[in-house]
Amino acid sequence: MIASIRSVLQKIGHRVIDSVWRMGFAGRFFLLTLMHSGTCFRRFHLILREVFSAGVLSLIIILVSGLFVGMVLGLQGFETLQTYGSEEALGILVAKSLVMELGPVVAALLFASRAGSAITAEIGLMKATEQIAAMEMMAVDPIARVVAPRFWGAVISMPLLAALFSAMGIFGGYLVGVVLIGVDNGSFWSQMQAAVSFDRDILNGVIKSVVFGVAVTTIALFEGFDAPPTAEGVSRATTRTVVTSSLAILGLDFILTAFMFRGV
């Protein structure tokens, strides 16, 4: 009896200590990445390659999802606004919800599952095939050569992808609202412009997407770097990347939104 309680307590304690240890390691890893950023900006072609694999290759999924999210918003919003006789406010509804919330959040979720998982799998496999150990043997710092360029490539891509998502979504809302249903074109745009302000809505959206980019990329890089060097370990790390970064995005979104509305 006492032995079984003791073993349960030991397991819980082990879990807690292990996760605190991991958190500390992740923090040091993040700081090291930032410290090695200077050298990786001197080798800019490395960053360019990561912008390609994180940003350009995510373009299609971002653009198509943005278009469909905007189209759904247009349809749903029209149905609801119609009951109040204010269909012209469709532009405000589509633009505000996309620019402030859906654009950064959905783009970041897609980015986590498309680019984040790829980063984790790549680095995990590099570790499993001992490429990272080989680099250390040759006195090449793997953080500076492998991690930092991926970090900056993804952090640069994320706000651009979120902006493309929002723009595409607004185009989708326009397509459904104005072209298909027949909301007045002029009032769609003019009401939107009157309600959406650059410094309060659009800039906040950009700030959100930068924060999400940093969070997703850090989690993906760390999970890859910390993965057990086996096939199973890499697959688990990839799954954990998607789950952890999705939760982090939603939690951070709440915190950021709460702070941004305080200021108004």
Are residues 154 and 54 in contact, defined by beta-carbon separation less than 8 angstroms?
yes
By CB under 8 A, the residues from 206 to 225 that bind another protein are 206
Q: Count other Cβ atoms within 10 Å, centred on residue 262.
A: 7
CB nearer to another protein: give 199 or 232. 199
Which one-letter amino acid corresponds to residue 133?
A
**51 contacts another protein (rule: CB under 8 A):** yes
Are 70 and 97 in contact by the 8 Å Cβ rule? The answer is no
150-169 residues in contact with another protein (CB under 8 A) are: 157, 159-161, 163-164, 166-168
179 binds another protein per the rule CB under 8 A? no
| Burial class (CB within 10 angstroms; exposed 0-12, middle 13-18, buried 19+) of 160 | middle
Exposure on the CB side of residue 261, measured as CA atoms within 13 A? 7
Distance in Å, CB of 132 to another protein, minimum? 24
Of 117 and 191, CB closest to another protein: 191
Among 196, 227, 234, 237, binds another protein (CB under 8 A): 196
**Counting beta carbons within 10 angstroms of the beta carbon of residue 175, is it exposed (0 to 12), middle (13 to 18) or buried (19 or more)?**
middle
Which residues contact another protein by CB under 8 A? Answer: 45, 48-49, 51-52, 55-56, 59, 95, 99, 157, 159-161, 163-164, 166-168, 170, 189, 192-194, 196-198, 200-202, 205-206
